[in-house]
Amino acid sequence: MSEGEIIRTEHLTKRYGRRDRGIEDVDLQVREGEVFGFLGPNGAGKTTTIRTLLGFLRPTSGGARIFGLDIREESVKIRARVGNLPGEFALEDRMTGEELLRFFSRLRGIKDLSYARELSERLGADLHRPMRRLSRGNKQKIGLVQAMFHKPPLLILDEPTGGLDPLVQEEFLRLVDEVKAEGRTVFFSSHVLSEVERVCDRVGIIRDGRLVTVETTTGLTDKAFRHVRLIFDEPVNGEPFAALQGVENLRVDGASLSFTLHSEPDAMVKLAAKHRLVHMEYERPSLEEIFLTYYQHENGGA
């Protein structure tokens, strides 16, 4: 591994059988102190990659190192230095959150639970009811606390904001910023572009089990188009808008124009200003749409 790398994979492959896809030839490097977003639609291979990195699945071929340690031979040592939140996890139904955190603190040799309680308060986690009585969102909060409270040098989180309400999601992203400021590393999978934009330095995109690209966050979002809808006080001629650079799929419905825009909005705004504009929508596409557009360009499509 190069100096400053926390994770390095080389041709990492996990197959479940002849027909069941896992991951194929994943080459990935994650640097110390960065927040790395691992992106892809459901079923793309995000969870398989994480479980293989942590030694819960054995690679079919290829390999990886975390902290310079081999994931096949030294997975126990690796997990001792990692805070992990699985995408799906089961907690002891009869335990309360407090009891669960005390259990993990004994396993990790931690006597001071003050940071665990601080995290619980910030995330609004209920530590006093049995797990079986908690909602999915509250279980997720406790899962995050157990992954973070021992301040590990590496956090590996699989879809960490699933089930959280927007205010708690924002608090979690602030915690990620704090982890980064301390020089620690975060690797998390997601399909939510907004949270990736908010905190990630770089992103890797996985599709059908293969790593498609690794880019800076700016590089990814620059590829994104926008959905635009303009409503005027009276019908307008759509042809000048259709002629603008980057405008595709123009639809005219009376005084309403809808299209996708693949360029900066300046020319479109100036043209719209020649009429009386009463309403404008300028929306980011879903991550799935960005993926589809990106893959089309990668494969030589439109």
CA distances from 127 to 33, 86, 114, 236 (A): 30, 20, 13, 59
What sign does the CA torsion over 120, 124, 129, 134 have?
negative
Q: Is the pLDDT of residue 252 over 70?
A: yes
- Name the average pLDDT for the chain: 90
Distance of CA 115 to the CA centre of its chain: 25
Model confidence pLDDT, tens digit, residues 153-167: 999 999 999 889 999
3-state secondary structure of 76: helix
Model confidence pLDDT, tens digit, residues 228-242: 999 999 999 999 999
Domains of the chain with CATH codes: 5-81+152-222 (3.40.50.300), 94-144 (no CATH), 226-283 (3.30.70)
Q: Is the pLDDT of residue 296 over 70?
A: no
CA distances from 291 to 13, 140, 262, 295 (A): 22, 27, 14, 6
Q: List Cβ neighbours of 292 (8 Å cut-off, separation of 6 or more).
A: none
Residue 253 β-bridge partners: 256
Which range has the worst mean pLDDT, 20-24, 58-62, 285-289?
285-289
Q: Is the pLDDT of residue 244 over 70?
A: yes
pLDDT of the residue at 172: 96
Q: Is the pLDDT of residue 251 over 70?
A: yes
pLDDT of the residue at 139: 92
DSSP label at 133?
A: G
- Exposure string for 219-230, b = 16+ CB within 10 A, e = fewer: ebeeebbbbbeb
pLDDT of the residue at 175: 97
pTM exceeds 0.85, yes or no: no
Q: Is the pLDDT of residue 75 over 60?
A: yes
pLDDT of the residue at 168: 95
For residues 196 and 37, which has the higher predicted lDDT (pLDDT)?
A: 37
CA distance 68 to 78: 9
Q: Give the pLDDT band of residue 291 (cuts 50, 70, 90).
A: low
Q: Is the pLDDT of residue 127 over 60?
A: yes
Model confidence pLDDT, tens digit, residues 170-211: 999 999 999 999 999 999 998 777 788 889 999 998 888 999
CA distance 285 to 228: 10
